[in-house]
Amino acid sequence: MKKVKQLTAVILAFALVFGLAGCTRGGAGDKDSKSGSAETKKAEDLKVVMMPKVMGMPIFESYYNAAKEQADELGITLDYIGPSELDASKQVNLVQDLISGGDTDALLICPADGEALVPVLKEAMDAGIRVYTWDDDVVDETAREYFINMCGDKIYGEQMGKTIGDMLEGKGKVGVVNGNMTATSLTLKEEALQDVLKNEFPDIQVMPTVYHGGDQQKAYALCQDLLTANPDLDLIAVIATPGLLGAAQAVDASGRSEVIVYGAEQPNNIKEYMKKDNLNVVGCLWDVMTLGKEAVNIVYSCLADGKEYKEGDTVEGYPDSSVIGTNITFNAVLEFDKDTVDDYNF
Amino acid sequence: MKKIAKTFDGNDRLLLIVFLGLTIFLSVTTPEFLAFGNLMRILQQMCELGIVSLGIMLVILTGGFDMSSSAMIGMTSVMVGVLFKGGLNIWTSVLLSLMAALLAGLFNGWLVGELKIAPMLATLGTMTLYQGIALALSKGDAISGFPEGFLMLGQGYLAGIPLQLFLLAGLVILMSVVMNKGRFGRKVYLIGSGPVGSRFAGINVKMTIILCYASAALLAGLSGVVVTSRLATARADAGASYMFEGVAAVMLGGTDLAGGSGKVSGTIIGVLVFAILGNGLNLNKISSLKRQMLIGIVLLAVLLIRQFSGKLKERRMISGQNKQQTNSM
């Protein structure tokens, strides 16, 4: 008898725990059978999951805010689920559990690793979940329907390279800070950046790349080391958020205001440092809010309207956008400095 | 021996109740949980943690602590990748990488067993060393492009059952037999209960400790191979969170952190509890951020209950003795 009592107590305890965590799974019994991708569904029934590389990174929060607003307007359900660490195996597990859960219509995912996610995304597609990647992609394009990004990685990297060359007037020493080593998009951006510097600005010396892994504190420490090791450093180029903040902090703390800090960050987050008189901080990103919003729009159009995006198409309302293969891109890099940072709100 | 028998009553019962309670709760509230596919996926996901947890438990039983398990997973993963990319046959790469893990484990054991350095300090040092080796060999990149045959280990199914589960099952059986039937197992428990007494009992403490750390490293290496296969990439940070998760699972499973008592079945159930809990949270779309918190609460609750039931037992025993004395007077 005692065992049964203890068992009941434990079950009730878990009920409390799950209840506090806020799970409500009403109507789980009456699920529709999995239909093929050809069928379109009513807006109110559409359940989309947005999965960032990792939870808690500001840029992804911004993506989600814009996406949620658009989702609410369209009347669809958008859940924001992601791994608590930047760890591909955790993200793979999450996608697997989504497949088990059985009530996801579409997955909008920013893969933590371009290779590791391929098998499980294919599995998801087989299970009837429509998969789209945004911000970063997987290496196998059959693992998802479309890759949605604001501007091609090559274009972004080339722009960065050109701006760096222009800012340094062709001569100087540059330190490069990137995010995580297995991110396809970040790697491609860096390659483009390095190519432009090598080919068009051969007198610029580039230091070996360091990686902050999505951690602002780590970026700070890495930039401090860069500054210490290179007393003649002219510019720190940051390819992935939230590194720019760490770089700006490091340069600020070092007092070496001649070092230009340039790279990826959202205007709101870097505004304070950008406006400091002793710092020269220039941002290079893209309109995060638009990407978040349009990603949801595109997913919705595919599911609810059965839309297909073919080579040469453009996205409605964005004449500069293009569809290259299965990559839907808006071709819009955004650069801003202390004079223009207030124009943006994200 | 007696200590192990006592553990069977309190700890195991609590653990089983937690396990059953969680399973029943999820089955009722989340029907998708019971789907064969979901259960198999849980088993597929937990194998990596299960394998390395066996090794973690083994070292803890000796009264020690191996902080380098996660680093070992990463190092083995990278070695498989680097050797394969260097032109070796994939299985040769795997074998050589496992041998490297074994050597690393022997080194760990030597530091603790021979030089008598405190286990946590020694393995903290080696953890940094192995992480460094992994990063240096991989140059920070992830290596991929493995052959289908190799990927089957981590992603394949045999009759609907994930392949790595067979590996885990085999290791569990092997370890249970070794720990419960063999002389080696008895030596390990005795060393954990009291290293000085064990030495006077004539046990070669040094040798046993070295073997334990070596085995733990080998198990971590195996886990690394499975992770590499499942993710189809060799990474220096593979299994980075598995050390702490493994220790948590081992503690949940009833192994005494001071050494000397703990069962293989407890550890595996501990890993299962965490895997099922994680799965339940994912199925209910509960944010991963809350997940850490909840896992922590579950672990603390079990530990606290164990602590209090232990004290209660002590008090009952003592009051029982007093009663006997007064009666006989």
User: Is A118 in the B-facing interface, judged by CB distances under 8 Å?
Assistant: yes
Q: How confident is the model at residue B2 (pLDDT cuts 50, 70, 90)?
A: very low
Query: Which of B20, B237, B287 is nearest residue A81 as measured by Cβ atoms?
Result: B287
Query: A88 to chain B: nearest residue by CA?
Result: B231
The whole-chain average pLDDT of chain B stands at 87
pLDDT band for position B4 (50/70/90)? Answer: very low
Q: Which of A3, A20, A23 to mutate to test the interface with B (most CBs of B within 10 A)?
A: A23
Distance of alpha carbon B8 from alpha carbon B307, whole angstroms: 15
Q: What is the pLDDT of residue B325?
A: 58
Q: How far apart are CA B48 and CA A78, in angstroms?
A: 32
CB contact under 8 A, A116 and B233: yes
Say whether the ipTM exceeds 0.95: no
Contact A28 B144 (CB under 8 A): no
> What is the structure's pLDDT at B55?
95
pLDDT of residue B241: 85
A22 — contact with chain B (CB < 8 Å)? yes
**Greater model confidence, B25 or A346:** B25
Chain B residues inside the 8 Å CB shell of A56: 289
Counting residues of chain B whose pLDDT is more than 90, the rounded percentage is 45
Give contacts of A17 with chain B, Cβ < 8 Å: 294, 297-298
Look at residue B130 in the predicted model and tell me its pLDDT.
95
pLDDT of residue B10: 62
Q: How many CA atoms lie within 13 A of A3 on its CB side?
A: 8
* Mean pLDDT in residue range A147-175: 91
pLDDT of residue A162: 92
Confidence of residue A51 (pLDDT cuts 50, 70, 90): very high
- State the average pLDDT over residues A324-343: 88
Note whether A194 and A206 are within 8 A (CB).
Answer: yes
Model confidence over B225-263: pLDDT tens digits?
A: 999 999 988 988 888 889 988 999 998 888 888 888 888
Minimum-distance CB partner of A97 among B25, B237, B282: B282
* Three-state secondary structure readout of B51-87: HHHHHHHHHHHCCCCCCCHHHHHHHHHHHHHHHHHCC
pLDDT tens digits, B30-52:
888 888 889 998 999 899 999 99
* Half-sphere CA count of B164, side-chain side, radius 13 A: 28
Question: What is the distance between the alpha carbons of residues A122 and A127, in angstroms, rounded to a whole number?
Answer: 9
Residue A41 binned pLDDT confidence (cut-offs 50, 70, 90): low
Segment A220-240 mean pLDDT: 92
Sheet harboring A77-80: ordered strands across?
A: A77-80, A47-51, A106-109, A130-134, A146-149, A327-329, A322-324
CA distance, residue B193 to nearest chain A CA (Å): 30
**Which band of pLDDT confidence, cut at 50, 70 and 90, is reported for residue B143?**
confident
Instruction: Look at B280 and A18 and tell me if their CB atoms are within 8 Å.
Output: yes
Give the span between the Cα atoms of B16 and B272, in whole angstroms: 11
Give the pLDDT confidence score for residue A49 in this predicted structure. 95
Q: Which percentage of chain B shows pLDDT scores above 70?
A: 93
Predicted confidence (pLDDT) per residue in A14-30, tens digit: 777 677 665 433 323 22
pLDDT of residue B304: 86
> Is a pLDDT exceeding 80 seen at residue A11?
no
Is the confidence at residue A40, as pLDDT, over 50? Answer: yes
Closest listed residue to residue A296, CA positions, set A277, A282, A312, A315: A315
pLDDT of the residue at B217 = 96
Question: What's the whole-number mean pLDDT along residues A256-278?
Answer: 89
Quick one: average pLDDT of A39-50?
77
Q: What is the mean pLDDT of chain A?
A: 86
Mean pLDDT confidence for A332-337: 88
pLDDT at B77 over 90: yes
B206 contacts B21 by C-beta, under 8 angstroms = no
Please give the Cα distance from B300 to B277 (Å, whole number): 14
The pLDDT-based confidence of A33 (bands split at 50, 70, 90) is very low
